Amino acid sequence: MNPAIFFSGLLSLLLFIFTGCATSVKPNAASISIPKATPPIPVTVGITEVDQKLTAGFSDLAVALKKNLDESQLFKTVYYPVRPGDPLDGEIKLQLSSKMKMDGAWFPKAFFTGFFMLLPSPFVKYHHQYQAECTLDLVKGSQKLKTYTVTSSVTATHKLWVDSMEQFEASATEAATKLLGARVVEELNKDRALLERELRPKPQ
């Protein structure tokens, strides 16, 4: 066997073993909990307006946020989508966006790794930020009660080779989405007294 071919194959094997397909997301979705806000405020709210600008592989953030509100049990009922005739004590209007911010040093890292024939690859990590943002208007009739602005950011890390870029991205976006929902619930629950006072139907 040609020694050059043998050592080239051995080098590739060692690189794969040491580099692996190491990926991580911090915090990951499993470590994020949606706060419980029981007992529920006895009102029905509906998500009546949604403006989404999503990139970086994020799925529908409004659907995820509705699920998080249900899980928190902050409100007795949350409608989304809202149908004509649904009885509402209050409305939620959402502006949602997402993005991925690449590792600021990815180009010099990639150049350095390539220049040294991939030898540094087991030690070079790329750190990307997956970010989501929510602006939530809480409305009662024609009155805007309060505006909440919440952001989330998770760090997704990988080495040179990623086994499945789709799975890597899915894990990062899932975590950022769940973190956003948890923070929205936290902010709303801080105003629990306001929500109960303003949203509960007034005695006739």
- Express each pLDDT in 28-59 by its tens digit: 999 999 999 989 999 999 999 999 999 999 99
Domain ranges within the chain, ordered by starting residue: 24-199
Residue 110: the pLDDT is: 55
Stretch 93-116: mean pLDDT? 69
* Mean predicted confidence (pLDDT) in 103-130: 58
Topology (CATH) of 24-199:
Double Stranded RNA Binding Domain (3.30.160)
Residue 108 pLDDT? 58
Check residue 201 and give its pLDDT. 85
* Structure confidence at residue 12 (pLDDT): 45
pLDDT tens readout for residues 180-203: 999 999 999 999 999 999 999 877
Inter-residue contact 192 to 40 (CB < 8 Å)? no
Residue 204 or 14, more confident = 204
* Residues 79/42, Cβ–Cβ less than 8 Å: no
Q: Smallest Cα–Cα separation from 134: which of 69, 67, 53, 192?
A: 53
pLDDT level of residue 23 (50, 70, 90 thresholds):
confident
Look at residue 7 in the predicted model and tell me its pLDDT: 42
Contact between residue 114 and residue 160 where contact means Cβ atoms under 8 Å apart: no
Q: What is the mean pLDDT of the chain?
A: 84
Indicate if the pLDDT at residue 69 is higher than 80. Answer: yes
Arithmetic mean of pLDDT, 14-23? 51
